[in-house]
Amino acid sequence: MNTLEAPFIGINRHRIGIDGEGVTTLAAFHGCPLRCRYCLNPGCLDAEATVRHYTPESLYQALLIDNLYFVATGGGVCFGGGEPLLRPDFLRRFHELCEGRWKITLETSLNVAPTVLQKVHPIVSHYIIDIKDANDDIYQAYTGKSNRRVWENLRWLAEHADPTTVTIRVPLIPEFNSEKDIERSMARVRELGFTQIDRLTYKT
């Protein structure tokens, strides 16, 4: 077995303007370190979920069908899930296979060890980061984990990434935070120098 083989809960082609520039394919990994109460992809947390396994090579072959769209529109692949940063070696190998022709976007909670982010950073074209809430009590109540590593990683990205390559999602989470909490979260994100902020409301 290829040691980089990884489980996926879905592949979604021909996405435009949702998760990255140009035409994008979303590849959603199984597995996430968080346990969000309103997880939109509960399949990624379910041990019994139907998954399909890919190696970087087999995924690349499967997505080649849209190569012309990606290249013509400046698009590529958005890795989500689940948490793509649980698979840093997969992502790096996949990027090698693309030879720079496809943009790599990550949809991530950033709640991973800083060494993992730093290892993957050179191959990422764009980040879409859902910070949930900046208040750690709210974050822990909603996800089951502390957001300490999220903010450590955000501070690192603020120093090492072009802010135009980072989109931060700041959600209203019914029954967990308020408009005031969102304003505080957005202020903290702006203090770090990020300007692309998506304010949204989770569906329960």
Residues that bind ligand SF4 (CB under 6 A): 32, 34-36, 39-41, 44-45, 81-83, 109
Tokens standing for residue 131: 């910070």
Q: In the bound complex, what is the minimum distance in angstroms from residue 135's beta carbon to ligand SF4?
A: 17
Q: In the bound complex, what is the minimum distance in angstroms from residue 202's beta carbon to ligand SF4?
A: 9
Minimum CB distance to ligand SF4 smaller for 44 or for 157: 44
Minimum CB distance to ligand SF4 smaller for 14 or for 35: 35
Q: In the bound complex, what is the minimum distance in angstroms from residue 113's beta carbon to ligand SF4?
A: 16
Q: In the bound complex, what is the minimum distance in angstroms from residue 35's beta carbon to ligand SF4?
A: 6
* Amino acid occupying residue 198: D
Minimum CB distance to ligand SF4 smaller for 50 or for 61: 50
Minimum CB distance to ligand SF4 smaller for 77 or for 128: 128
Cβ-based burial of 167 (10 A; exposed 0-12, middle 13-18, buried ≥19): buried
Cα–Cα nearest to 6, from 27, 25, 35:
27
* Amino acid occupying residue 190: R
Minimum CB distance to ligand SF4 smaller for 32 or for 161: 32
Cis peptide before 100 (omega within 30 of 0): no
Tokens standing for residue 39: 């997880």
Minimum CB distance to ligand SF4 smaller for 98 or for 177: 177
Q: In the bound complex, what is the minimum distance in angstroms from residue 74's beta carbon to ligand SF4?
A: 26
Instruction: Give the whole-angstrom CA distance, residue 3 versus residue 123.
Output: 20
CB-based contacts of 177: which residues, under 8 Å, 6+ apart? 133, 135, 138, 142
Q: In the bound complex, what is the minimum distance in angstroms from residue 65's beta carbon to ligand SF4?
A: 26
Sheet containing strand 6-16, edge to edge, reads: 52-54, 6-16, 23-29, 76-80, 103-108, 126-130, 166-172, 197-201
